[in-house]
Amino acid sequence: MKIALDTNTYTDAARADAKAMEVLRSADEIYLPFVVIAELRSGFSLGSKGKKNEAKLTEFLNTPRVKVLCPDEQTTHHYARVYSHLKKQGTPIPTHDIWIAAMTLQYDLVLFSRDAHFSQVPQIVKI
What are the structural domains of the chain? 2-126 (3.40.50.1010)
- Which tens digits make up the pLDDT trace of 56-96? 999 999 999 999 999 999 999 999 999 999 999 999 999 99
Tell me: pLDDT of 5 over 90: yes
Identify the CA nearest to 121 among candidates 70, 75, 87.
Answer: 87
Provide φ and ψ at 9, rounded to 5°.
Answer: -80, -30
Predicted TM-score of the model (pTM): 0.93
Whether 68 contacts 32, CB under 8 Å: yes
Please enumerate in sequence order all residues whose Cβ is within 8 A of that of 84, keeping only pairs 6 or more positions apart, or say none. Answer: none
122 pLDDT tier (thresholds 50, 70, 90): confident
Identify the CA nearest to 82 among candidates 66, 63, 61, 97.
Answer: 97
Q: pLDDT averaged over the chain?
A: 96
